[in-house]
Amino acid sequence: MRYAKRGRLRFTSHRDFGRAFERALRRADLPMAYTSGFSPHPRISYANASPTGAASEAEYVEIGLVEACDPDAVRNRLDEALPPGLDILEVVVAGPGALANRLEASRWTVALPGVDASTSEAAVASFLAQSAVQVERMTKRGLREFDCRAAVVELSVRAGEDGEQMCAILDMVVRHSTPAVRPDDILAGLREIAGLEAPVPPMQTRLAQGPLDPETSSVGDPLGPDRDAQATAGDR
């Protein structure tokens, strides 16, 4: 299923979402499948969660049920059981193949309030001119240095508005890699290369994630194969 993290609930961390989701599954009274063993827990797999504070229109999670259910009914019941702001957008019956493998890239939009578009354009141009841009990030294993340039498939700037304030909006397509390159890292790269500074924390939104078409740099629908499989099964 695809879900969104919107508004103030973008501050929900991955762990917070996990707890809220499991409680919602119980409230929705879905016929959950449980793992066997000493302390059974519901079969849920989360894929590639967005960072705390980032909004998203394209988060993915898979759940296991013990009986066949109508996907739309599952969507409605689960969405009802979750607080507004954590919204279940679509549910399909999982076909063969792992969902996680289809999440090859993400499309992001990042608003930089108080930054004008023309300054950003120059910064983006010099960023793209580099073959590699080293940045540092604190990870669980300590401070790591890695390249944030190679994963960037597409990066462009446009002017936007944030209330009365003008702002620059970055549109980017980023390939999923290890270590993961997040919009934050690309902003760090822009700061490193071209001194682009945001006076207030930027507003990041993931618009899509899925298979990457290298020709067009577009991000496809990762649930497409599941839908196709379901349609084929229906035809048979």
User: What 3-state class would DSSP assign to 140?
Assistant: coil
Count CB neighbours of 4 within 10 A: 19
Do the Cβ atoms of 110 and 187 come closer than 8 Å? yes
Beta-bridge partner residues of 90: 2
Distances (CA, A) of 86 to 13, 15, 21, 47, 67: 12, 14, 9, 16, 25
Contact code string over 43-62 relative to another protein, x by CB under 8 A: ---------xx---------
Bridge-based pairing of strands 55-63 and 203-210 is parallel
Span of 92-100, 125-133, 195-203, 205-213 interacting with another protein by CB under 8 A: 195-203
For position 144 contacting another protein by CB under 8 A, the verdict is no
Give the shortest CB-73-to-another protein separation in angstroms.
Answer: 16
Instruction: Identify the residue among 58, 78, 81, 153 touching another protein (CB under 8 A).
Output: 81
Q: Closest CB to another protein among 199 and 234?
A: 199
Query: Applying CB under 8 A, which part among 4-12, 88-96, 144-152, 170-178 lies near another protein?
Result: 4-12
Q: State yes or no: residue 192 binds another protein (CB under 8 A).
A: no
Nearer to another protein, 7 or 214 (CB): 7
User: Cβ of 209: how many Cβ atoms within 10 Å?
Assistant: 28
Question: Which residue in the set 1, 2, 4, 12 belongs to the binding site for another protein (CB under 8 A)?
Answer: 12
Which element (helix H / strand E) includes 131? none
Name residue 117's amino acid: A
Residues in the chain: 236
- Distance separating alpha carbons of residues 113 and 135, to the nearest angstrom: 23
The verdict on 40 binding another protein (CB under 8 A) reads yes
What is the rounded distance in angstroms from the CA atom of residue 149 to the CA atom of residue 143?
Answer: 18
* Residue 14 sits in the site that holds another protein (CB under 8 A): no
**At its nearest, how many Å lie between another protein and the CB of residue 151?**
22
Nearest-CA neighbor of 28 among 92, 85, 82, 94? 82
Nearer to another protein, 103 or 203 (CB): 203
Q: Using CB under 8 A as the criterion, which residues of the chain lie in contact with another protein when the complex forms?
A: 8-9, 11-13, 15-17, 19-20, 22-27, 34, 38-40, 52-53, 81, 83-85, 113, 200-201, 203
